[in-house]
Structure 1
Amino acid sequence: MVEKKNQALNERSLLLLKSLIERYIYDGQPVGSRVLSKDPALNLSPATIRNVMADLEDLGLIHSPHTSAGRVPTVSGYRLFVDSLLTVKPLEISELNLIQSSLVAKNDINQSIGVASKLLSDLTRMTGVVTLPKRELVSLRHIEFLPLSNTRVLVILVTNEQEVHNKIIHTSREFSPSELQQIANYINTMYSGRSLAAVKKAVIEELKVAQERMNQEMLDVVQMAKLALDQDENSEDCVISGETNLMGFSELSDIDRLKQLFDAFSQKHNVIHLLDQCLNAEGVQIFIGEESGYQPFNQCSLVTSSYSIDDEVVGVLAVIGPTRMAYEKVIPFVDLTAKLLGAALNPKTLAP
């Protein structure tokens, strides 16, 4: 659709559309012919500009708000601008250095994810989101069980070389330290190096085996493994930073709209579902307005990119802001942050 509209426009129309959108992104005010006539790059009379703007409006690329004679871009206009007219700006040296120095290899994956999310928020003054690596792509390295009081057991789960997770589980009976050691030894011997998803699937399959044919020791093993690998319903699947930054944009400052946005951020699952669509996409992906298919983001744009560990895509990061965001700066921020986050999380770069 954008390609057809692009073909229907001559160079003058495209240049005017580009100028109008850049002006609107800069100051957030509807753009009129008088303002555009002062642009030396256009060198067009106000009458000519009005005619071209009328053509752009007929094509659905711009429209006139009720309160102004000026024009603002539509979603289609932004899409054409982003796909065909945008010139991405290289990052400033200071910005590049800040991202590189912040995203260094750490043994705590949650800390790295949090740093990336805050970086995106601080550098763009919008909202930064980073999903945690998908559990099905995380590998088991080592597991330990330590007895606590009564039927409580502390699980120490080491994944992806040096990432450590602690979790308390409640078992059906009390286990002695030696029993817990035997269970851990069996799990480490049988499943070390396999993905958590594959381990859990194998455990569930073993549970399906007629339990009367299992001795109690084996039953304890598979039940303990299942408890250890079950993901908590309240566990964090993504880290969001800078939600309140969106309050600074007039087009998003309506109380009802802000409530919808903050509700979306607090619930998270719809945001994660949206970002998961980008897991198999290469490079930077952009959702403008209603393109996201998620009503609370109808006045927003999302600039996203997946990040990889060991050449395997495991998560997605994004900047969420108004549709009139400075795409030429946000895109390289997102692209570089994704690359450096993946490098920081690569087990080969982690400190011993």
Structure 2
Amino acid sequence: MLPCVLGAHAGAVALLLAGAVPDLVAGVLVGATLPQLSALSAARWSALLSGERAAALPSAFALEALANGVSYMAGPALVSVLGATGHPVAGVLLAAALVVGGGLALAAQCRTVPPLIGHAERRHAGRALLCSAFLRQVALGLALGVFFGAIQVSVAAYAVGRGTPDAAALLYVAFNCTNLVGGWVYGAWRHGGSPRRRQAAAAACLTLASLPLTFLDAPLAVGATLALTGLAVPVLLILSSVLTESAVPRAVLTQAFTWGSSASAAGIAGAAAVAGRLVDAGGAQGGFGVAAGAAALMTVLALGGLRDSPPDVPKSSAPAETTVPNAPLTRRDSSTNRSAP
């Protein structure tokens, strides 16, 4: 399916550049045909790292987070440079080429494609997408998207409000660089214990780190605080992938990762509008308040997962026939010697 979706995306971009349809329609088509490459990649990691290698899955998701972080830093910069030099069409073409080229390169990796699942099994497993453990991760993804969207608007508003719009780039660098460091350190750390507890701790740290943004005004203090928040964000992304992978059967794993990515994108879009209104009404601190509120909501959701979920068992040490009491759907995977809700 991936080459078909990539072809549709390339066609939508061509319609946009040719002006064959109204810009709004073309924009909707471009977004609707954009493939969820990160979800496809995460599903492949889950299939490759099974059995005795399952303990390396958090490191794989950390590598995925690092790649995404580098893309989010380099991609907009490259496209913006082309647009600023008077070649906006070249920027759009570059973005489309990266998506289509990268997607075709992924599709060509036949060795890593997960085994096909029968239609009946997929339909039966689809009920797992309604389980509370998975829906909580979707809600966390939505809240994390709200955090991202509010931070983006608020950082720009803060820099413009002080009369130094160029400072926004430095603040973004502080946030994104520590984001990469946090993902690298977490991926390299051979950690044990419960992913749910680590998720709750990371969400609480993000909340505490983002609260000062609602009243700080000095650029150095704001930059340092943004750097602290950047350390916790990749940990939350990695743990959300780990817990999503353990919450649903493999037959619907790609769907599950896609729902998480879509929830995050929806949160970014909605938060940008809400934070923008609050910034207009009360300055950048109002937008930072939205980000702090989203972090607090993530903490509540993560703590709720501790209260009503059984203890986590690391995949590498899970017994051959582990069952989860009162689970609506259980997956027994002979390739991983485990079962999960």
Of the two, which has the highest radius of gyration?
1
The structure that is helix-richer by fraction is 2
Q: TM-score w.r.t. structure 2 length? A: 0.23
The structure that is strand-richer by fraction is 1
